[in-house]
Structure 1
Amino acid sequence: MSVAEPRRIVLFRHAKADWPQVSDHERPLAERGRKDAPIAGRKLADSGIALDLALCSTAARTRETWKLAVSELPERPRTVYEERIYEASPGELIAVLNETQDDVRSAVLIGHNPGVQGLAEVLTGEAEPEAAQRMSRAGFPTAAFAVLSFPGPWKSLEPGAAKLLDYWSPNN
């Protein structure tokens, strides 16, 4: 693949989590989250993006979200569970994405707020108007995802370098 071809990043917030008496890292999905995650997976499948790589937080709710969502995709991408995504800032998430191999054309990052929403906002230099309006109106609720595109190698990904192409949330 040429590094001149645009790359796609899907920024996917985990589905709704429950609040049982466990550590934050081990919180499972709530019933609503178990319903929303496969719906988000179907919407992601409908987007037609062939994902090469999934970078998923090690938290229980993100792993469960991805397990339910990926089952709706036509092809399962290679999945890497990355502990640095848990509680990461947008800058820390960019650093993780910068390490992606250049043969990866499209990746999904499954993480948490405020990092995922912050990353979508920081990376977006330009946007499709409807996608920007939906994201602005909805914020970044659980099970939402944004699709961004940027040119060049992963190591060149930086604030303002991407275009927001699409946004979906269960609330839309």
Structure 2
Amino acid sequence: MSADTPRRIVLLRHAKADWPQVADHDRPLADRGRQEAAAVGLKLAELDIDFDLALCSTATRTRETWKIAAQHLSHRPKTVHEERLYEASLGELIALLNETPEEVSDLLVIGHNPGMHALADALAGRAEGDTLQRLTLRGFPPASLAVLAFTGSWKSVEHGVGTLAGFWTPQDH
């Protein structure tokens, strides 16, 4: 793939988690979270992006979100459960994106806040319509997703490289 290869990154925050007496990493989805995960799965299907790879945090709530959402896709991409996504800083998230194999055009990342919001905000050098205003106003609630487009190598992903092409929250449906 060349330096002018169009690529997309879809950032998905896990759906609403429950707060049982377990370690944070092991928190499951709440009932509302399972409904949100199904709704975001329908939204992903509507986007009709043929993902080449999904990177999913190893946390229980992210794995459950992805399992439910993926049921709505016509093609389930290769999924890598990436422990570095849990509690990742913005710099660590960009470093993970820089490691993406060049044959990947469309990447889905299922992770946590504040990282997903920070990454969407940092990568969005431009925005379509009111997407950036909505991201700023709403934050990045559970089961939200942001679609970022950029051209180039994964190694070139850095602040301001992308266009925020879409932003969706469960409250939008």
Could you say whether these structures have the same fold, taking a TM-score greater than 0.5 normalized by the shorter chain as the test? yes
Which amino acid in 2 is paired with 1:87? E
Count of residues in correspondence between the two structures: 172
Q: Is the contact made by 2:55 and 2:109 (CA closer than 8 Å) also made in structure 1?
A: yes
Work out the CA distance in 2 between the residues paired with 1:54 and 1:60: 16
Which amino acid in 2 is paired with 1:73? L
Partner-residue secondary structure (3-state), 1:167: strand
Match of 1:75 in 2: 75
Match of 1:91 in 2: 91
Partner-residue secondary structure (3-state), 1:171: helix
Which amino acid in 1 is paired with 2:10? V
Task: Name stretches of at least 5 consecutive residues in structure 1 with no aligned partner.
Answer: none
Deviations 1:141-161 (A, max 9, x none): 000000001111101100110
Q: Is the contact made by 1:138 and 1:171 (CA closer than 8 Å) also made in structure 2?
A: no
Alpha-carbon distance, 1:136 to partner? 2.2
Work out the CA distance in 2 between the residues paired with 1:20 and 1:142: 17
Work out the CA distance in 1 between the residues paired with 2:112 and 2:47: 22
Deviations 1:123-167 (A, max 9, x none): 110001222232222210000000001111101100110110000
Q: Is the contact made by 1:12 and 1:145 (CA closer than 8 Å) also made in structure 2?
A: yes
Is 1:136 equivalent to 2:136 in the alignment? yes
Match of 2:149 in 1: 149
Deviations 1:5-64 (A, max 9, x none): 210000100000000000000000000000010110110111121111000000000000
The RMSD of aligned alpha carbons is 0.9
Which amino acid in 2 is paired with 1:13? R
Work out the CA distance in 2 between the residues paired with 1:60 and 1:100: 23
Work out the CA distance in 2 between the residues paired with 1:41 and 1:134: 21
Work out the CA distance in 1 between the residues paired with 2:121 and 2:170: 19
Alpha-carbon distance, 1:97 to partner? 0.9
Partner-residue secondary structure (3-state), 1:103: coil
Task: Map 1:1-172 onto structure 2 (within 5 A).
Answer: 1-172=1-172
Instruction: State the TM-score, normalized to the length of structure 2.
Output: 0.97
Q: Is the contact made by 1:123 and 1:160 (CA closer than 8 Å) also made in structure 2?
A: yes
Which amino acid in 1 is paired with 2:115? G
Task: Name stretches of at least 5 consecutive residues in structure 2 with no aligned partner.
Answer: none
Work out the CA distance in 2 between the residues paired with 1:119 and 1:89: 9
Q: Is the contact made by 1:38 and 1:69 (CA closer than 8 Å) also made in structure 2?
A: yes
